[in-house]
Each structure stands twice: as C-alpha cells, then as structure tokens.
Amino acid sequence: MSKNSLNRRDFLSSAAVVGATGALGAGTLLTSCAVGTKEQGITPLRPRDQWNLTTESLPDRAIPGKELKVGLVGCGGQGTGDLMNLLSVADDIKVVALGDTFMDRIDGCRNRLKERFNQEVPDEMCFVGFDAYKDVIDTDIDMVMLVTPPGFRPAQFKAAVDAGKHVFMEKPLGVDPVGISAIRLAARQADSQGLCVINGTQRHHKRSYMEGYRMVQEGMIGDIVSGNIYWNQTKLWHREKEPAWTDMEWMVRDWVNWCWLSGDHITEQHIHNIDVFHWFSHLMPVSCVGFGARHRRPTGDQFDMFSIDYEYENGVHLHSMCRQIDGTATNVSERIQGTKGVWTSNGVITDLKGNEIWKYDSEKETAEYQVINEFALQFVNWVTRIRNNDPINQAEETAISSLAAIMGRISAYTGEKVTFESVQAMDMDIVLKDLSLRNMDMRQFEIPVPGRGPA
C-alpha cells in the first residue's frame, strides 16, 4: 500500500489510493447521479491508482487498539480544540505532556482536559518556553501534535521526526522558503521511518470534498481549465499590548498579525483554498502576479487583502482572493472549471449550461454517520493509520501548498512576478533567531510597499 508522499514534480500525480479504514467503502455517499462511462462521453482524468485520497472512507471513530500516548505543543485555542477533537473520536488515548510558551495557555488546556475527559497532566509534565517542544517530544509519547504559530513549525517537525514520533501538525507548514525546505527534508525522513503524518488541511477529511474529488477525477467536469478560490471574511482577532508584556510576548500572543509568525493570512488561512485546487487539479504552480494592501488592520505588519493570479502547468490559471476586513462581502469557497462542467465546494457539479448534474447527499451522510466534523475526522484517520501500522505522510503536499501561498505573498508585497522555481531557491528566512521574551526595536517590522524592492 503506497504512502501519500510526493516529490515536487510528482505532486498529486503519483499518489496512490490508500486502503479503506472503515466498514463503508468508496462511493457509499454518492447520489443517484452516478458517473457515466466512456461511451457516454465521460473519461476519467487519471487512473484510480493515481488518485490522492487520504482514505477511502471515514467512519465515526478510530479503530480500537493499544493505548497511545500523545503530547501537545501549543495549548492555545486551536491546539486545545484539536486535542479535544482527537479525544472525542479515539479511545485509549492518554495525554502525557503539554508544552507552550506561556503557562496560562497550559492551564486553560488542562482545565478543559479535566472537565471534558477527566484526564490530568501533572505539573512535571507541563513545559513552558520556546523550547518546550523539545521537552514534550523527549517524553514517552507515541504521537505529538504541533499547533504553535507556523513560524516555529519546521524546527518542531524536524525534532519530532528525529525522535520517531507520529505527527499531527497544523497548517501552514512554514512562513518562508527556508522553512518549507526544512519541512520537505524532514518529510522524506518521515517516509523512511514509516511515520504517520497528518496535517490540518481538514478538507481532505471532509466527506463532501472527498466525494467531489472522486467525481472530478472520474471526469465529470472534463479537463480542468481554471479555478477561483476565496477566503473573504471579517476581521480576525488581535491582541492589544498589555503593559506587563515585552515586545516579544506581545507578538507571540498576537501572532496571526505578524508575518514572521503567521506568514500573513494568505499563508496562514487561505492555504486551505490553495491546497484544494492543488489536490483536485494535480497541477504544479508555475508563477504568479498579485497585489494586496493594508487598509484597517490594527496591529502587526501584514496586509489585510490579497488578489493573486496563479499560473499552473498546462497554462491553467487560478484566481486567488482573500480578505479580512469588517463590513465587506464574505465568501469562503472554491470553484473549479472544466471543459464539460463546474465543481463548487458547496457539493454541486453543473454542466456548462448551469444544469445540476451531481449533488453531494448531505442528508444521507447525516443519517449514516454521527460525526460530520472534518476537524475530528482527520484524527479518525491519524489514529487508525497508527494502529494499523499503515504509514501516511501529507507533509510534502502541504509544503507545496504552503510555498505557493508564500509565493503569492511575495508577489503582492513586492509587486513582482514570482516563479515557483525561483521561490524554491530563495534563501529567505524571516523567523527571528533570538526568541527570548525581550523588548526590541519594533521599527524593523515595516509594512511592505509594492515596488520598493525585496519583501
């Protein structure tokens, strides 16, 4: 059974379908609008053994098995939520260690862990500081969850792989080309060690997306010719600096607004949409030209809107749009245009005249399953893979999606056309090296101005 690991040129073109992990097989949730045959004018885009599905089916719970010990690095809202989702769909998971830069984050996670699952992590297994991940990884755990700001992800992933731990890590996988290169090196090492690596690109574990992917690969929309992706929403959260905080503490607590920590929201958030296009199209990015601006963001050094024209292989273009501004139109979706029809992320395929020819049966899903939440279903797959000794590795493909988002950011920041080949070769490393909780000259964090040179 092939691993879901890919090199750059083979990205999403040679991944094998993995085996089923539950009682229900492929296609159990399809509507009566089944895919036709070649004689009916529908030709699959690629053979089934070249599809890229993380699993053939997603039952409500992970398979039972021996107790697994888990550690969490990053105990904020996302990390704590991920841990709760893991424990909600998998039995015999023991939380052994917690790590975070700040003790109040750990305390909050411990309280929820006790209230919801009656698990307690002793004081001596709670680690504080920027190096807390090392202490967590050094404990007797089988699996580790990496949910800190993504600027820290490459070093933490390498440490986890070096220690032979199975890894769940949130997206994106880095904020700059140097970090992504480190992720890809560690991903190859994880392959050689037979580890199970799942990333927080949860749409890969959303049943409606999985069925839509099947329909597209079967040829229902024909050859893919273009795409449109959106993550337009109201303003995200921010933290005003408190008097007792140093500059470093403020930035880390306000991390989604600082490029060296989050990669800007095109990377931190919009990667989900970019990743969907990569997944469905099996195409590699070639270049991009984009623009962005900062209108109302109250803290940090980032933009609050981007519009990027990506060119992919075969001359295919993808329009990418993301925005975080109050009082503006919202839209979080993907649309993929084919020569015969259109797939949209609301679970519908239409022909070129707009007639609906397939629709995901969400009512049937609700009737057959208790767990619909893809944020939980990703952990069903992770734990099942570990217990079945069935390796999976999403790190390489998510690294490519992360790098494409970074490429778009660089183009918008500079106003220049950026090629994927050039961004892979860049020595750009924007993560601060002195991670002490110190004050510093904050003038170094300038808001980019297109046309003024390097980002």
118 contacts: CB under 8 Å, gap ≥ 6: none
Task: Kindly state the tokens that stand for 406.
Answer: 């970074």
The answer to whether the CB of 212 falls within 8 A of the CB of 343 is yes
Name 196's bridge partners: 392
- Nearest Cα neighbor of 401 from 219, 174, 194, 182 is 174
**pLDDT 10s digits, 33-46:** 444 445 457 899 99
Phi, psi of 242, deg, nearest 5: -90, 150
**pLDDT 10s digits, 372-431:** 999 999 999 999 999 999 999 999 999 999 999 999 999 999 999 999 999 999 999 999
Is the predicted pLDDT of residue 341 greater than 60, yes or no?
yes
Is the predicted pLDDT of residue 57 greater than 50, yes or no?
yes
**pLDDT 10s digits, 121-151:** 999 999 999 999 999 999 999 999 999 999 9
- Give, to the nearest 10 degrees, the angle between helix 177-193 and helix 153-162: 20
pLDDT, residue 455, reads 72
pLDDT, residue 86, reads 98
Average pLDDT over residues 81-107: 98
Is the predicted pLDDT of residue 10 greater than 80, yes or no?
no
**CATH topology classification for 222-361+402-444:** Dihydrodipicolinate Reductase; domain 2 (3.30.360)
**How high is the mean pLDDT of the chain?**
92
Return left, alpha or beta for 216; rule: phi > 0 is left, psi -120 to 50 is alpha, else beta. Answer: alpha
> CA angle, corner 444, sides to 443 and 447, nearest 5?
85
Is the predicted pLDDT of residue 2 greater than 80, yes or no?
no
Evaluate the CA torsion angle 253, 257, 258, 261 in order and state its sign: positive
Task: Kindly state the tokens that stand for 297.
Answer: 């963001």
Q: How far apart are the first and last CA of the chain?
A: 43
pLDDT, residue 31, reads 40
Task: Kindly state the tokens that stand for 404.
Answer: 């494409």
pLDDT, residue 453, reads 72
Least confident of 4-8, 178-182, 200-204, 279-283: 4-8
- Nearest Cα neighbor of 195 from 455, 441, 4, 346 is 4
Radius of gyration in angstroms for the set of CA atoms belonging to the chain, rounded to a whole number: 22
User: What amino acid is encoded at 106 in this protein?
Assistant: I
Is the predicted pLDDT of residue 452 greater than 90, yes or no?
no
Q: Where are the alpha helices (DSSP H) in 71-176?
A: 77-89, 103-117, 132-137, 153-162
- Could you tell me the CATH superfamily of domain 38-204+370-395? NAD(P)-binding Rossmann-like Domain (3.40.50.720)
| Dist CA 286 CA 344 (whole Å) | 24
pLDDT, residue 26, reads 35
Instruction: Supply the DSSP string of 3-60, one letter for each residue.
Output: -S---STTTTTSPPPPPP-SSS-TTTT--S-----GGGT---SS-GGG---S-S---S
259 contacts: CB under 8 Å, gap ≥ 6: 175, 300, 301, 302, 409, 430, 445
Query: What residues does each domain of the chain span?
Result: 38-204+370-395, 222-361+402-444
Least confident of 41-55, 86-100, 107-121, 361-375: 41-55
| Dist CA 58 CA 158 (whole Å) | 29
- Nearest Cα neighbor of 142 from 110, 94, 73, 198 is 94
| Dist CA 109 CA 156 (whole Å) | 20
pLDDT, residue 40, reads 56
Does the model's pTM come out above 0.85?
yes
Phi, psi of 401, deg, nearest 5: -65, -40
Name 224's bridge partners: 338
